[in-house]
Amino acid sequence: MNIQSVTIVATALLVAAAGDSFAGEGCCSSPQKPATTNVVAKAEVKAQTTCPVMGGPVNKSIFVDAEGKRIYLCCKGCIDPVKKDPKKYIAKLEAEGVTLDKTPAAAPADKPAK
C-alpha cells in the first residue's frame, strides 16, 4: 500500500468514527433523553393530633377558628387561652410541622320558600 492509499483509509476511518460520535444529535430516530419537568414535591400533610395548650389528644368537636385555620383542642378549658393568642398556637403547631385544617366556608343561608 502506498502512502496515498494509507492516508485515504486513515481519513475514512476518522470520518466514520467522528460521524458515529455525532450520530443521533437532533435526529428523530435516536433515543431522546426524557424531558425534565418542574415537578414540585407535594408537601407532606401532618394532621393535628395533640392539643397545643395541654398536649393531650385532640377532641375534634372542640376547636377554635382563627386566622382562617381550625385549631383542635383537648378540652373546653383550652378554648380561652387559644382565643386570647391564636397566633401563638398556630405558630407552635406549624413549627411542629402540623398542617392545620382550614376554617370551613360558612354554609349559604337557606332561601325562603316561595
For residues 102 and 17, the model is more confident at 102
Delimit the domains of the chain by residue range.
Answer: 59-102
Contacts of 26 (CB under 8 A, 6+ apart): none
In tens, the pLDDT along 18-36 reads: 555 555 555 555 556 655 5
Instruction: Please give the average per-residue pLDDT across 44-66, as a whole number.
Output: 95
User: Can you tell me which residue has the cell 382562617?
Assistant: 68
What is the structure's pLDDT at 19?
A: 57
In tens, the pLDDT along 73-112 reads: 999 999 999 999 999 999 999 999 999 999 988 755 555 5
Contact 72, 19 (CB under 8 A): no
Is residue 14's pLDDT more than 70?
A: no
What is the structure's pLDDT at 105?
A: 83
Q: Model pTM greater than 0.85?
A: no
SS3 of 83, please?
A: helix
Which burial class, exposed, middle or buried, applies to 52 when counting CB atoms under 10 A from its CB (0-12, 13-18, 19+)? buried
What is the structure's pLDDT at 33?
A: 60
